[in-house]
């Protein structure tokens, strides 16, 4: 979690996250022990809990916080996120999630899809208790998640710019829910519309930063919760590889051909990773992440000074510099 300088505020955030963590497991309990085991599989594997953190930080920009509503809002966004991971792992035919065997591997694709559906249902039940404004925002967010997944599955169509297509997918699949997390935070404390807009704009941009930094880490790091080079091996085009594709330098043709080839073998994958790590495209991708993080910082300008704003600014820095 982002380090917060103000110790009192840090203690408050930590306490709230602990409550949310406990409730996450409770919300995933089903009528049968098997469904409970499968539904808590990814939750128990841990995670950054980035979205609940944004709910908490966003709540600092309003008035008095409704603690029950805050917990419920955080549960909604994290349950939605976890549910989407079950579906993503099926779509991606993944082997590992957060350092453990993915649900689709431990059981099968059908079970993983239905467990994801179960968690989406739990999120829907929870958001219904918050009111229609929350339900509408959650429904609109869910629609974007699905549309982003469909667009990713179809890929860019004739006439589409592949990089722009990818960035829109990232915005829909990642930015939308992170923005909703920040806005939910403002809503549970009765923040005014200008604050909610600032939190939304920040969340959309920092959500893209979050995913684009993951793209780089997939290539440069060997200590992630996924197998290194997972996206490369699966032929998933990400920011660095899409930037490489745009290169018109003939010296890049060999690396482009390698990245586009069959990387199912360990030797071929290692060679592609080595080539990308040494290529200027990684620096270019990092520069794009930095640019977007700076833009996210700009959206925070209207918000009042204080430990919550300091923490959000620190999030921008952490996402640029993180290595796992």
Q: What is the DSSP letter of 249?
A: -
Q: Measured in whole angstroms, how far is the alpha carbon of residue 129 from the centre of its chain?
A: 25
Cβ-in-10-Å burial (0-12, 13-18, 19+) of 114 comes to middle
Spatial separation of the C-alpha atoms in residues 285 and 243, rounded to whole Å: 8
Spatial separation of the C-alpha atoms in residues 208 and 198, rounded to whole Å: 16
Spatial separation of the C-alpha atoms in residues 297 and 286, rounded to whole Å: 16
Does the pTM surpass 0.85? The reply is yes
Instruction: Please report how many Cα atoms fall inside a 13 Å half-sphere around the Cα of residue 282, on the Cβ side.
Output: 14
Task: Name residues whose C-beta falls within 8 Å of residue 179's C-beta, 6 or more positions apart in sequence.
Answer: 141, 199, 200, 201, 202, 203, 204, 207
Spatial separation of the C-alpha atoms in residues 80 and 142, rounded to whole Å: 8
Going residue by residue through the chain, which has 324 residues, state the pLDDT in tens, using 9 for 90 and above: 566 767 899 999 999 999 999 999 999 999 999 999 988 888 888 788 999 999 999 999 999 999 999 999 999 999 999 999 887 777 766 666 666 777 777 777 888 888 889 999 999 999 999 999 999 999 999 999 999 999 998 999 999 999 999 999 999 999 999 999 999 999 999 999 999 999 999 999 999 999 999 999 989 886 645 566 888 888 888 999 999 999 999 999 999 999 999 998 989 999 999 999 999 999 999 999 999 999 999 999 999 999 999 999 999 999 888 765
Q: What is the DSSP letter of 102?
A: -
């Amino acid at each position: 979690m982002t380090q917060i300088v103000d110790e009192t505020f840090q203690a408050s955030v930590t306490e709230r996250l602990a409550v949310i963590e406990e409730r996450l497991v409770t919300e995933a309990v089903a009528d049968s022990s098997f469904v409970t085991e499968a539904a808590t599989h990814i939750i128990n594997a841990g995670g950054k809990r980035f979205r609940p953190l944004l709910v908490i930080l966003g709540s600092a920009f309003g008035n008095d916080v409704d603690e029950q509503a805050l917990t419920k809002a955080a549960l909604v966004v994290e349950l939605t996120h976890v549910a989407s991971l079950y579906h993503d792992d099926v779509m991606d035919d993944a082997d590992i999630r957060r350092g453990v065997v993915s649900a689709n591997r431990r059981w099968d694709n059908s079970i993983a899809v239905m467990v994801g559906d179960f968690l989406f249902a739990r999120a829907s039940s929870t958001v219904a208790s918050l009111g229609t404004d929350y339900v509408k925002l959650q429904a609109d967010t869910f629609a974007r998640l699905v549309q982003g997944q469909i667009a990713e599955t179809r890929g860019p169509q004739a006439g589409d710019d592949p990089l722009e297509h990818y960035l829109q997918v990232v915005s829909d699949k990642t930015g939308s829910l992170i923005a909703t997390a920040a806005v939910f935070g403002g809503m549970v404390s009765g923040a005014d519309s200008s604050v909610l807009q600032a939190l939304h704009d920040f969340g959309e941009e920092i959500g893209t930063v979050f995913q684009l930094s993951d793209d780089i880490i997939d290539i440069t790091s060997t200590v992630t919760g996924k197998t290194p080079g997972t996206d490369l091996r699966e032929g998933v085009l990400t920011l660095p590889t899409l930037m490489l594709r745009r290169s018109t330098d003939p010296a890049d043709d060999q690396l482009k051909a390698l990245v586009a080839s069959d990387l199912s073998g360990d030797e071929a994958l290692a060679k592609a990773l080595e080539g990308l790590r040494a290529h200027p495209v990684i620096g270019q991708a990092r520069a794009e992440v930095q640019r977007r993080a700076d833009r996210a910082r700009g959206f925070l300008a209207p918000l009042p000074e204080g430990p919550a704003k300091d923490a959000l600014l620190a999030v921008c820095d952490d996402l640029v510099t993180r290595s796992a």
